[in-house]
Chains A and B, each alone.
Chain A
Amino acid sequence: MKNNKQDAALRGGHLGSRRAILKSLGAAGLVTAASGLVLPAHVLAQLTDDKPEAQPRQGGRIRVATNSSSTRDTLDPAKASLSTDYVRMYMVYSGLTQFNRELGADLALAETIESDNQQDWHITLRSGVTFHDGKSLTPQDVVYSLMRHKDPDVTSRVAPIAAQFEEVVVTGERSLRIMLKAPNADLPVMLASSNFCVVADGTTDFSRTANGTGPYQLKEFSAGVRTIGVRNPNFWKPGKPYLDEIELVGIADESSRVNALLSGDIQMVLAVDPRSTKRVKRSGTCDVMQTESSLYTNLVMRQDAYPTNNPDFVMAIKYMTDRELIKRALFRGYATIANDHPVAPSHKYFHHELPQRPYDIDRAKFHLKKAGMNGLRVPIFASPVATGSVDMAALMQLSGIEAGVHLGINRVPADGYWSNHWMKHPLGFGNINPRVSLDELFSLFFKSDAPWNESGWQNQQFDQLLLAARGEGDDAKRKQMYWDMQELIHQHCGIGIPVFMNLIDGYDKRVKGIFPIPTGGLMGYSFAEHVWLDA
């Protein structure tokens, strides 16, 4: 009985006030908890202070499900391309830096990262870090891990980003130097992405084994089936990780994923549909976590095709977008209103003085009339793979009727959408995942010669600003440049961004220590080293 009381007290203290719990602990005359955990003074301090979160506890095993898993699953950081891969990378490997909840980069394997000119970077490594096989971390491992992305045979997903590395060389026992082709102040953030995780020097075979410095050691890997990681006792963060074992699986079907969470077979799931959130909350045992991300589904209006090459037509479409309705009806409120540029309000460089573009049919009518396109019939391509695009197209169609343009929805299959339809029609949809830095986002999707310049937008002023901002060390000046770029996209680019979608994860309430990291769901895919189980 006494033990039960203490147990309940440790679980979060719903028995009464914290004072009462302390009293009951005192009455029991001991400071040892039931689960064999010694309750030292600092835990008592924790109980008395205002944080309801208890002290992390070691042990336990959880099963986690993401939404995508196939025979393409990989252990090679260079090839990681889907959520399950990202989670797996952060489970077994560490990077030089890692993302924090403000979207900045904290130091990880690197002890210092310094540069005077944002081009010539000096890195010192943390000492005493070992790989899972016992080998010590050396600068040569880092050099190998970064430079292999430049090898065409590796077919790295981040080869275009790695192309910025002029050379990476060992400069000392624990230090190395990264020389970039041009200045880039975002290097520390770039290095936090899962693709740049550090592998042991010379590793070429990633088919079954993964030798990393991450929080969990690989116990089993079967592509498209499961990944099991066991606690790395020599992890470089003292006291971490907390769990004994994590099993990672992919469940593609959303309702199966949520059912598995609710029936207790899974403790954390990625990507819960807004429609399922009520069910999860009602269960009492599980809850959802929202992550405000910069993930968006956007209208693509090609600047090199009729009729989207007419700026007035583009403007009309932008005014025809009922953002409030999209947020409410499509995403049940789990979204953030966007302003036709790709920077989310949570970002430190978000242009908050730029007026929000309203839903205004009259102005849309005006622009259509100016363009002489009243009563025009235009096909709009949507696909389930661009999340929400089919419903968005339907809403656009309705406002189009009011404004005087007939949008004919062409719903095309998810399969092959990116290679056969995306950016290939005058009016269609894209779906852009959060990127680690604005520089990367703009370079990939908005620069005139960008590989995925979705609308084929050509703007020299934007290109110059982008290059200038990359090398700008002064934060205030850099911010101004990013503001100018947002304004240019908002005014002139053939991209319409209605809302940013919030990421929703579901979790068993016994899983503790979770908080959102905006680069992705499940704490920016890096939950493995943070969570613990309150059993």
Chain B
Amino acid sequence: MKVIFQLIIKRIGLSIITLFIVSAVVFFIANLLPGDAAQEMLGQSATPEAVAALREAYGLNDPPLTRYAKWLTGLVTGDAGMSLANSRPVSELISSRLSKSLLLAGLTTVIAVPFAMLLGIVAAMYSGRRVDKIMNIATLSMVAVPEFLLATIFVLIFAVELNWLPSLSYIPADAGVYEYFRAFALPVATLCIVLSAQMARMTRAAVLEQLSQPYVEMALLKGSPLSRAVLRHALPNAVGPIVNAVALSLSYLLGGVVIVEVIFNYPGVASLMVDAVTNRDMPLLQACAMLFCTGYLILVLIADLSAILANPKLRTGG
């Protein structure tokens, strides 16, 4: 147990260093974008005087290092600054969207992960047989189809033609379970299909690799049924790569779902970040980038830890 505790401490320390480096990279790359908030705010109608006045008001005339230092100290003390585009605290803007993103990600995870595991394990157990071949074709084609195409086809079929489900993901203020189901059905289905396909492929590969090991053969020779050999013997050893694949796929749910958010007009963090880029709203953009990075680091940490916990060899530090 002590080993694990030390490991966690070490990983958290490393994560903080990573975040620090990321903050510098994000800040300076964001500042390489042509144009600034003042120009974007005034758009086509930017006169030099108006831009100058707005720059002064936003403090964009300070040297980059000063701005970086200011921003970083703010961030450390929990103040992500004010959004340049609508002069509200960045934390307020993000928190209202984050819960929505997490809800979408959570629902997708709850459905996609067990589904993908099941598909992957079944495919591995019957590898080379017809079930496996069908699943291979299905998952490979789903990995290849871009999600905007899938989402648009779903909307055309289920919303426009059949009129069963709404084409936009709106949740009314007094929504019941049924409204939630209707609002989330299409976006969650789209994301589940895209994600499950990837995760199922990884699961299948990981389990298959274990199944070719001598110890599984031994178990089978001792008379253990295939299902037991897979679930009791092979799966625990395959957990490491599977959890890693799952974590990578899930990290995508936080920032990478922008296309799904756009198509279903779902107000999540990803579209907030795109707004921030087009408006050159640097405080908001930087905060979003840091948030996604933190989420990613946490997921990877969880993945590593579960791989260790699942593996007795690593667990005891041997």
**Digit string of B63-84 for contact with A (CB within 8 Å is 1, else 0)?**
0000000000000000000010
Q: Which residue of B lies closest to A156 (CB)?
A: B50
B53 at the interface (CB under 8 A from A): yes
- A207 in contact with B87 given A153-B57, A263-B159, A419-B46 (CB within 8 Å): yes
Q: Which residue of B lies closest to A68 (CB)?
A: B278
Could you tell me if B53 and A155 are in contact, using CB atoms closer than 8 angstroms? yes
Could you tell me if A416 and B35 are in contact, using CB atoms closer than 8 angstroms? yes
- A263 in contact with B160 given A71-B275, A251-B265 (CB within 8 Å): yes
B293 at the interface (CB under 8 A from A): no
User: In the complex, what residues of A have CB within 8 A of residue B155's CB?
Assistant: 256, 259, 263
Interface of A is mostly: loop
Cα of A52 to Cα of B152 in the assembled complex, Å: 38
Partner of A73 from the list B86, B166, B168 (CB cut-off 8 Å) is: B86
- A416 in contact with B265 given A160-B47, A422-B44 (CB within 8 Å): no
User: In the complex, what residues of B have CB within 8 A of residue A56's CB?
Assistant: none
B276 at the interface (CB under 8 A from A): yes
A451 at the interface (CB under 8 A from B): yes
Cα of A222 to Cα of B100 in the assembled complex, Å: 14
Could you tell me if A72 and B86 are in contact, using CB atoms closer than 8 angstroms? yes
A330 at the interface (CB under 8 A from B): no
**Digit string of A440-453 for contact with B (CB within 8 Å is 1, else 0)?**
00000000000110
B284 at the interface (CB under 8 A from A): yes
**Digit string of A201-216 for contact with B (CB within 8 Å is 1, else 0)?**
0000001000000000
Give min CB distance, A19 to chain B, whole Å. Answer: 36
Sorting the interface of chain B by its residue count into under 10, 10 to 19, 20 to 34 or 35 or more gives 35 or more
- A259 in contact with B53 given A419-B35, A452-B45 (CB within 8 Å): no
Could you tell me if A159 and B267 are in contact, using CB atoms closer than 8 angstroms? no
**Digit string of A405-449 for contact with B (CB within 8 Å is 1, else 0)?**
000000000011011101000000001000000000000000000
Could you tell me if B86 and A223 are in contact, using CB atoms closer than 8 angstroms? yes
Partner of B43 from the list A224, A264, A418 (CB cut-off 8 Å) is: A418
Give min CB distance, A166 to chain B, whole Å. Answer: 20
Cα of A340 to Cα of B27 in the assembled complex, Å: 45
Interface of B is mostly: helix
B264 at the interface (CB under 8 A from A): yes
A74 at the interface (CB under 8 A from B): yes
User: In the complex, what residues of A have CB within 8 A of residue B46's CB?
Assistant: 418-419
Could you tell me if A419 and B39 are in contact, using CB atoms closer than 8 angstroms? yes
User: In the complex, what residues of A have CB within 8 A of residue B265's CB?
Assistant: 249, 251, 256, 260
Cα of A223 to Cα of B46 in the assembled complex, Å: 22
User: In the complex, what residues of A have CB within 8 A of residue B44's CB?
Assistant: 418, 422, 431, 452
Give min CB distance, B175 to chain A, whole Å. Answer: 14
**Digit string of A45-86 for contact with B (CB within 8 Å is 1, else 0)?**
000000000000000000000000011111000000100000
Cα of A249 to Cα of B264 in the assembled complex, Å: 12
Q: Which residue of A lies closest to B164 (CB)?
A: A263
User: In the complex, what residues of B have CB within 8 A of residue A153's CB?
Assistant: 57
Could you tell me if A72 and B45 are in contact, using CB atoms closer than 8 angstroms? no
A3 at the interface (CB under 8 A from B): no
Could you tell me if B267 and A256 are in contact, using CB atoms closer than 8 angstroms? no
Cα of A89 to Cα of B42 in the assembled complex, Å: 18
Q: Which residue of B lies closest to A224 (CB)?
A: B275
User: In the complex, what residues of A have CB within 8 A of residue B281's CB?
Assistant: 71-72
**Chain A residues engaging chain B, CB cutoff 8 angstroms:** 70-74, 81, 152-153, 155, 157, 159-160, 207, 222-225, 249, 251-253, 255-256, 259-260, 262-266, 415-416, 418-420, 422, 431, 451-452
The 7 sampled A-B contact pairs (Cβ below 8 Å) are: A71-B85, A72-B41, A160-B47, A224-B275, A256-B155, A259-B167, A263-B160
Given contacts A223-B88, A416-B35, 12 further A-B contacts (CB under 8 A): A71-B275, A71-B284, A72-B85, A73-B86, A74-B86, A223-B86, A224-B271, A251-B168, A260-B167, A262-B160, A416-B33, A452-B44
